[in-house]
């Protein structure tokens, strides 16, 4: 698994504007089982991130591409947002068998067009949401990614070795998950947990 370091702090810069953007999928990160406070239940979540090479920002004097992300519940039911996003990217409807067996790391490095929308959170901050994903139109191209392409799976035996390569703000989300807490509390350590004991 790729372990190159990637930026460690969540940006406090203004979010990318609402609209359509050329993009490339760069991260697929397992967030574990997260508590949905609205419905008071655990849901297995995954974070998908896109690099938008034409949308630039200055960070510490360096010109960088914008990165936007979205969290999805790990469900491939017909109306699940994750499945709808993948079907939008592929421009096809998946059969239930295809959806059930679709490897998420297959999303990595896929070029596409994303539609973003900005909204204001309860904390007064502006947030960007990826509202839709579509394939490139004929003749369109997307530059190769400048940000390291990365996947992280808590189900992998040595996942703990790669945790520090994930941006700190995403690490903090993972560490709040029931999955991570269970792994931390395992008698034999994070990396030796029996998969049969996992809550998903």
pLDDT of 62 above 90: yes
User: Cα separation of 194 and 75, whole Å?
Assistant: 23
**Residue 35, domain member (yes or no):** yes
**Residue 53, domain member (yes or no):** yes
Give this prediction's pTM. 0.84
Q: How far is CA 67 from CA 16, 72, 119, 122, in A?
A: 9, 17, 17, 22
pLDDT of 3 above 70: no
Q: How many domains does the chain have?
A: 1
Decide which of 44 and 39 is more confident: 44
**Residue 10, domain member (yes or no):** no
**Residue 28, domain member (yes or no):** yes
Count of helix runs (H) and strand runs (E) in the chain: 4, 6
**Residue 5, domain member (yes or no):** no
Percent of the chain with pLDDT over 70: 87
pLDDT of 141 above 80: yes
User: Could you tell me the pLDDT band of residue 159, with boundaries at 50, 70 and 90?
Assistant: confident
Q: Tens of pLDDT along 71-119?
A: 999 999 999 999 999 999 999 999 999 999 999 999 999 999 999 999 8
For helices 178-185 and 168-175, the axis angle rounded to 10 degrees is 80
Identify the domain containing residue 41 by its residue range. 22-197
What's the whole-number average pLDDT of the chain?
Answer: 86
**Residue 1, domain member (yes or no):** no
Q: What is the mean pLDDT of residues 15-24?
A: 93
**Residue 142, domain member (yes or no):** yes
**Residue 12, domain member (yes or no):** no
């Amino acid at each position: 698994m790729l372990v190159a370091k990637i930026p460690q702090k969540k940006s406090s810069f203004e979010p990318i504007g609402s609209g359509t953007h050329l993009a490339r999928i760069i991260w697929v990160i397992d967030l574990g089982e997260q508590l949905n406070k609205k419905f008071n239940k655990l849901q297995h979540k995954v974070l998908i991130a896109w690099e938008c090479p034409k949308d630039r920002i200055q960070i510490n004097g360096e010109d960088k591409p914008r990165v936007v992300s979205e969290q999805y519940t790990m469900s491939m039911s017909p109306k699940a947002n994750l499945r709808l996003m993948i079907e939008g990217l592929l421009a096809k409807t998946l059969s239930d068998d295809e959806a059930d067996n679709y490897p998420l790391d297959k999303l990595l490095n896929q070029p596409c067009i994303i539609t973003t929308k900005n909204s204001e959170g309860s904390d007064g901050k502006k947030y960007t949401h990826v509202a839709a994903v579509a394939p490139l139109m004929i003749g369109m191209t997307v530059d190769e990614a400048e940000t390291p392409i990365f996947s992280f799976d808590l189900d992998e035996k040595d996942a703990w070795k790669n945790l520090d390569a994930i941006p700190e703000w995403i690490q903090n989300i993972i560490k709040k998950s029931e999955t991570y807490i269970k792994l931390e509390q395992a008698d034999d350590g994070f990396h030796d947990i029996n998969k049969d004991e996992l809550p998903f």
